[in-house]
Structure 1
Amino acid sequence: MQKLYFFFFTFLLSVIVYAQPSKGEFINVSMGFGLTSPYNETDTDMNSNGFYAQGEYIWSPRSWFGVRPYVGVVITSGEAKVKRAGAPDYKIQTNAALLGAKVRLAAPIPYVAPFIETGFGVSIGSFETFTEEENLKKSGIITHIPLTLGLAIGRKHNYEVKLIYYYQEQVRQVTGAAALGFSFPID
């Protein structure tokens, strides 16, 4: 597994590509550490972690604005870290494919360009939120609202560091990731 990470980061650092805030069409690939938390934080200190990956097609007509349809996957599971005597085992998990579209607003600053993204999408998979206040278990399609905060970095803004959140109201949880991404032009 360490060799795979080494190869991935070597490739990531050796490719010279262009990313928004440049104009044009791109493909963006992101991978990271997936997280899921319930809407209502309880004294059980509960969250789950796992894997996150996403691919985006980017259409950027302006250096500060882009439209980004996406497809991704998130797999997380976890239980309460603090268990009380007589209390049930609280847990939260998400195993889902993500589909949707976002818009990005970026500040085209040299070397470090902050950005924010939001949009609308659907999560397809299985979801469980079992806390003191919620007992939800669903499979199928649910809606989500994505929100991403990040930095496009590098001389040509070819790398991204970002925090990604998907607000899933129907299962009362927030799924997200701390991720790294890179883009390459297709036009």
Structure 2
Amino acid sequence: MNKTLILLLIVLTSNLTEAQFIKEKSINAQIGYGISVPYNSVDEIADNGFFAQGELVLKAASWVEFRPYAGFILTSSNGKDLNDNPTDEKAESKAFLLGGKIRVRAPIPLVAPYAEIGIGTSIGKFETLTAFNDIDKSGIIYHIPFSFGLELGKNNNVDLGFAYYFQPSVEQYTGAFAVGITLPLNNKK
């Protein structure tokens, strides 16, 4: 299943890069404050860390883009919940992220809201320890990315948003508050 998913992502993204309907290509680089949160826990916890991601932006129209991505997230527990009380519960991720998303955006100059969804894989180490779960897993798992935010600037080349990666097999989601910048590649006119 995992090999099939990776092969499917590679085939889809490689075919899209030279497709006739792609109007523009760009590179987007994001960096941000990462978090990981268990699906269910007794204590309110959100373990924090670092997030970085790069995307190949393939613009099909002014309102839709395809975005194959690669990135990573590193989160760890400090042994405290959100109220600063000690806890044994945690949701940690140290993973490489790989996948593809589709972004739908309002083509508005200066401030363009967007939402995106896709499918991908997380490769790394995941630990979810709550009153309901005791998961310690390494390897490849699938995730479902979901993001929303704003594209800012004259050319909408600054990205400010929230990115989430739902990981059902380890009962947690990771996410980030991220800032990104988009740099155009040589585009055919």
- TM range, smaller chain: 0.7 to 0.9
Give distance in 2, aligned partners of 1:161 and 1:128. 28
Map of 1:52 onto structure 2: 51
Offset at 1:80? 3.8
Offset at 1:83? 3.6
Give distance in 2, aligned partners of 1:68 and 1:184. 14
- SS of residue matched to 1:170: helix
Give distance in 1, aligned partners of 2:149 and 2:119. 18
Map of 2:159 onto structure 1: 160
The aligned length equals: 160
- SS of residue matched to 1:167: strand
Give distance in 1, aligned partners of 2:142 and 2:92. 16
Q: How does 1:32-71 map to 2 (within 5 A)?
A: 32-42=32-42, 44-71=43-70
CA offsets 1:124-182 (integer angstroms, 9 cap, x no match): 00000000111001000000000000100011101010100000000000100000000
Normalised by the length of structure 1, the TM-score is: 0.83
Normalised by the length of structure 2, the TM-score is: 0.82
Give distance in 1, aligned partners of 2:170 and 2:113. 31
* Percent sequence identity over aligned pairs: 44
The alignment status of 1:119 with 2:118, answered yes or no, reads yes
Where in structure 1 do 4 or more consecutive aligned residues deviate above 6 Å? none
Q: How does 1:1-187 map to 2 (within 5 A)?
A: 23-42=23-42, 44-78=43-77, 79-81=79-81, 82-83=85-86, 89-187=88-186
- C-alpha contact 2:165 2:175 (8 A) present in aligned 1: yes
CA offsets 1:37-72 (integer angstroms, 9 cap, x no match): 000142x12110000000000110201000000000
Amino acid at match of 2:37: S
Give distance in 1, aligned partners of 2:91 and 2:67. 29
CA offsets 1:63-100 (integer angstroms, 9 cap, x no match): 1000000000000011342347xxxx222200000000
- Gap runs ≥5 in structure 1: 1-22
